[in-house]
Amino acid sequence: MTADPVAGRPGPADRTRVFSGMQPSGAVHLGNLLGALRSWVVLQDEADCTYAVVDLHAITAPDEHDPAALAPRTLDLATTLLAAGIDPDRSVLFVQSHVREHAELAWLLNCVATFGELGRMPQFRDKSAGRDASVSVGLFDYPVLQTADIILYHADRVPVGEDQRHHIELARDIAQRFNHRFGPTFTLPRAMLPPVAARVMDLQEPTRKMSKSTTSERGIVHVLDAPDAIAAKFRSAVTDSDGEVRADREAKPGVTNLLEILAAVTGGTVEHAVAAHGGGGYGALKAAVAEAVVEHLRPVRARHAELAADPAEVGRVLAAGAERARAVAAPTLARARDAMGFLAPA
């Protein structure tokens, strides 16, 4: 890595900084795990990592925002992140709304981002399709808050699934525009996608991504699902009628999804998965994927049960994480305010 041109960035310039977040909009699923969370865990060995439960993002869809569920879901997501291997001794883990700098920087960036670029974001177009008048401004503005999340921590890399690639490119554009107008302030981030399973598809509708809020129960594998439920979901996964086990995203999205999931959880490639299972039928492939997924998730489920028994300890981890996050976010925000010319408080 080259030295960072942004003055004031804390820590050694040659150490990669990583930021990523996950919304407490429902239980974590296999797409979240394979697309993002596994990379978060691995990156802890080689980078300075900051991870957030992005609860401010989870209120952007009013029909999915249940005030009674938000706090328990936030705590449960943090518990799941810890259970999956986020280590608070090596990473900063916190809740986005506990660090107010996110919301304030988002406002400053709102005056740098443009209406046109936000309107072109595929996720906004998908989620707002057919309901323009009732869509919240928050949903439209989501990528600007996400930009604030990332650049507050000078992140070079943002490990995400494929669906977030456009948002990270936009974050880079906004940060670059800010630096150009107001002077070098922010590090320019890049998305980091996993080599396989960057877009895990719904098991019932394999042309649609698996999603916390829009997928039917049978199409979504939750990280904390019981083994029997996982096996049943894979058994009923939609495939096709030609019977051949091979990868082809366009022609065979269901089978390709199964092969990608198998490759990801066994640490192999899709080619290996085809070589190992190409001779069998779809039933055998589904059974093999289910078994591999159950084994992959077994330790996460067990650890989650242990951690969930002591929610106060998870709360303490999050409080300490917020303090550490604020120690980086506050000076970054102060520099941005200064660069934009605000009068500093006396």
Reply yes or no on whether 127 is catalytic: yes
| Range in contact with ligand AQP (rule: CB under 6 A) among 110-118, 210-218, 263-271, 291-299 | 210-218
| 214 in contact with ligand AQP (CB under 6 A) | yes
212, 233, 252, 286: which is the annotated catalytic residue? 212
Helix (H) or strand (E) holding 51: strand 48-53
Mask for 140-179, x = binds ligand AQP (CB under 6 A): --------------------xx-xx---------------
Nearest CB to ligand AQP, comparing residues 162 and 240: 162
Pairing mode, strands 17-22 and 91-95 = unpaired
Between CA 157 and CA 152 the distance in angstroms is 13
> Considering only residues 34-53, where is the footprint of ligand AQP by CB under 6 A?
35-36
Reduced to 3 states, what is the DSSP secondary structure of residue 19? strand
Question: Which residues have C-beta within 8 Å of that of residue 290, sequence separation ≥ 6?
Answer: 230, 231, 233, 234, 235
Per-residue tokens: 132:
């323009």
CB 52 within 8 A of CB 94: yes
| Range in contact with ligand AQP (rule: CB under 6 A) among 81-89, 195-203, 235-243, 248-256 | 195-203
| 211 in contact with ligand AQP (CB under 6 A) | yes
Q: Least distance in Å: CB of 137 to ligand AQP?
A: 17
Q: For residues 262-299, b (16+ Cβ closer than 10 Å) or e, as one string?
A: bbbbbeeebeebbebbeeeebeebbebbbbbbbebbee
Q: Which of 31, 88, 189, 321 binds ligand AQP (CB under 6 A)?
A: 31
- Applying CB under 6 A, the residues found at the interface with ligand AQP are 22-23, 25, 31-32, 35-36, 160-161, 163-164, 198-200, 209-214
